[in-house]
Amino acid sequence: MADSLPLRWLYLDLNSYFASVEQQMNPALRGRPVVVAPVMTDSTSAIAASYEAKAYGIRTGTKIWQAKAMCRDVVIVPGRHDDYVRFHHKVIDEVNRHVPVTNICSIDEVACRLMDNENSPAAVAALATAIKAGLNANVGECLTASIGVASNRLLAKMAADMKKPDGLTILTEDIRRARLERLPLSDIPGVGRAMEKRLAAAGLVTMAQLLAMSPAQARGAWGSVWGERLHRQLQGHEVADVETQRRSIGHSHVLGPEKRQLPVARLVARRLVMKAGTRLRRADSRAGWLGLFVKGEVRGTKWKAGVKLGQVMDSISLVEAMEGLWARMAAEFPHRRLLQVGVVLAELTPANAAQADLFDSNALLCARTDAKRLALSEAMDRMNQRFGRDAVTLGHHDGGATRSRGPAIAFTRIPELAEFHE
């Protein structure tokens, strides 16, 4: 019955978030086509585009040189990720004034669970209007949001995508199926091109087909229980979240033209692994594996490899492991100019869960070395937190030639403000 599936979730999706923050901070950019780039070079790609830029076909991932060809008036600005995080916190504070934020889904998306006294269509319409007005008055007039309301979080997110920018879609049970059937399967979060091809091979090409399936058939089409879980959510039901834990910590950096030679790129990689090490210690974890990956300046050229670690958490051990991988890369990878470098720490365990090998005669020595290295790394963390990024570092210091503007934002992970001092 229709009243058995009440409206339970409000999902807020900020519109063209990075570009909107830039326009908010710089009034001269308002009303103009703006593209945010990781570094100021034509060979990199847009990480955000304002709606004025989108009108010319520019999207996230568009090469900067292409964006300039598509719109002669486009304004390219470098990403200022610390500002995006600060505005993110302002947005969270504002939404909390109207309804408690239940989940922070990404840097520009939040979900709020609705109570029985606030989930009628009229009540949620009034709530959404109040949130939008609050964002305009207290965060910034350039910060608009599309809001979706539905019986579960997935449907609320899909509803928020149905009308952009600055939209409101209330997906009540009586219109749910009709509205969903208009959508392509790619509008389901998590369904990319590879999954679309897989579903098409199984004969599933439309949303109407998916909605008509049984849960077991959906599970078979997906090849996993996720198909069944998704099917139930599309039918309007709530499905309990699967508890997840952090599996890795990583950083990558797109190199400007002045940083692409191997010696300078190596210093960037050292910086990245030290940043990852600081995050590792903040999470009170140890890493059992370190990976290094690079992209060459020549399109399509890549190299990656990893090395086992002895469940470490100090920067000295991590840099030593990275240097070994770098030497291997320099010997195996034929390209001398790099476009991107990245590091990742994996096989994470709680710091107090690591145990020494009882049969290792060097265990005591290793424990002492580990303690000394960890104490030094933690002291460096404190100094950099107090005096700024790179106040204290290991070995090489180039006066800022390899210094980045701070951590970049993966949309599903919001950096802590402390990371901008690392």
Q: What is the CATH number of the domain that holds 349?
A: 3.30.1490.100
Supply the pLDDT for residue 382: 79
Q: Is the pLDDT of residue 55 over 90?
A: yes
Q: Cite the beta strand spans of 1-158 per DSSP E.
A: 9-14, 34-37, 48-49, 75-78, 103-106, 109-113, 145-150
Task: Indicate the helix (H) or strand (E) that contains 293.
Answer: strand 285-296
Supply the pLDDT for residue 245: 61
Beta bridge partners of 410: 413
Global confidence as pTM? 0.69
Average pLDDT, the chain: 87
Q: How confident is the model at residue 401 (pLDDT cuts 50, 70, 90)?
A: very low
Q: 240 and 252: one domain?
A: no
For 248, the 3-state DSSP assignment is strand
Options 52, 109, 228, 422, the catalytic residue: 109
Q: 217 and 337: one domain?
A: no
Supply the pLDDT for residue 408: 55
Mean local confidence (pLDDT), 83-110 = 94
Q: How confident is the model at residue 256 (pLDDT cuts 50, 70, 90)?
A: confident
Percent of the chain predicted with pLDDT > 70: 85
Catalytic annotation present for 173: no
Contact 35, 67 (CB under 8 A): yes
Least confident of 22-26, 36-40, 57-61: 36-40
Mean local confidence (pLDDT), 189-208 = 90
Q: 133 and 222: one domain?
A: no
Q: 127 and 142: one domain?
A: yes
Residue 216's domain comprises 185-244
Q: 289 and 387: one domain?
A: yes
pLDDT digits 0-9 by tens, 149-166: 999 999 999 999 999 999
Q: 268 and 379: one domain?
A: yes
Rounded to whole angstroms, how far apart are CA atoms 406 and 397? Answer: 16
Percent of the chain predicted with pLDDT > 90: 64
Q: 191 and 270: one domain?
A: no
Q: 200 and 277: one domain?
A: no
Supply the pLDDT for residue 166: 96
Q: What is the CATH number of the domain that holds 222?
A: 1.10.150
Residue written as token pair 């059992």:
288
Token pair for residue 63?
Answer: 């090469």
Q: How confident is the model at residue 75 (pLDDT cuts 50, 70, 90)?
A: very high
Beta bridge partners of 286: 349
Q: 164 and 299: one domain?
A: no
Rounded to whole angstroms, how far apart are CA atoms 419 and 215? Answer: 43
Which residue, of 152, 182, 212, is where some domain finishes? 182
Rounded to whole angstroms, how far apart are CA atoms 352 and 311? Answer: 11
232, exposed or middle or buried, with CB in 10 Å at 0-12, 13-18, 19+? middle
Cis status, amide bond into 38, omega within 30 of 0: no
Which residue, of 219, 244, 269, is where some domain finishes? 244
Contact 38, 408 (CB under 8 A): yes
Supply the pLDDT for residue 419: 53
Q: Is the pLDDT of residue 299 over 90?
A: no
Q: 217 and 313: one domain?
A: no
* 356 vs 46, more confident: 46
pLDDT digits 0-9 by tens, 200-249: 988 999 999 999 999 999 999 998 898 999 999 999 999 887 655 668 89
Q: Is the pLDDT of residue 268 over 60?
A: yes
- What count of other Cβ atoms lies within 10 Å of the Cβ of residue 216? 11
